[in-house]
């Protein structure tokens, strides 16, 4: 467009450009919505909410199959030699649910990182390396432009 000093409408230019790159019917391909925001809204047991990547260190209310479940990060156990009661087991379950929530959050973050790494690796294999080592090891000129009798002088 710069060379010819002409303006093309994007809707005419892009399908031609995309077909040259091997993509057909680009306007009919559904877009993939990849979540890049790792922020979640965490609901507290007191009814308030907070947006954060990791679960906050407070009692949370998590919905599982439409049923609210309490998840607690810290609980003090019963002291002494008393008999274990049902409430004690519930406290352990609440802490386990909180731990599982954190593990699930970390797993989602690792998935995002692995996707980004895979994209970076694909980009590295398609684009030539520009590191100092690679630029030094490559020749600085093409030998096609040098006459064969002059090339012997370079060796």
Nearest in space to 42 (alpha carbons), one of 27, 32, 52, 29: 52
Per-residue pLDDT tens over the stretch 87-134:
888 888 888 888 888 888 888 888 888 887 888 777 766 655 555 555
The answer to whether 146 and 154 are in contact (CB under 8 A) is yes
pLDDT, residue 142, reads 57
- For every residue of 75-138, DSSP letters joined together read -PPPPSSPPP-HHHHHHHHHHHHHHHHHHHHHHHHHHHHHHHHHHHHHHHHHS----HHHHHHS
This prediction has a pTM of 0.45
Q: Per the structure block, which two tokens stand in for 44?
A: 């507290």
């Amino acid at each position: 467009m710069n060379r010819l000093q002409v303006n093309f409408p994007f809707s005419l230019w892009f399908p031609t450009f995309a077909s040259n790159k091997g993509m057909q019917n680009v306007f009919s391909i559904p877009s993939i919505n990849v979540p890049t925001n790792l922020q979640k809204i965490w609901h507290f047991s007191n009814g308030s909410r907070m947006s954060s990547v990791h679960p906050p260190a407070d009692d949370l209310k998590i919905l599982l199959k439409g049923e609210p479940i309490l998840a607690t990060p810290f609980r003090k156990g019963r002291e002494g030699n008393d008999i274990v009661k049902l409430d004690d087991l519930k406290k352990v379950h609440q802490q386990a649910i909180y731990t599982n929530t954190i593990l699930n959050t970390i797993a989602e973050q690792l998935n995002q990182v692995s996707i980004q790494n895979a994209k970076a690796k694909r980009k590295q294999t398609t684009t030539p390396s520009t590191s100092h080592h690679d630029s030094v090891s490559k020749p600085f000129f093409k030998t096609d432009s040098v006459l064969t009798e002059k090339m012997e002088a370079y060796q």
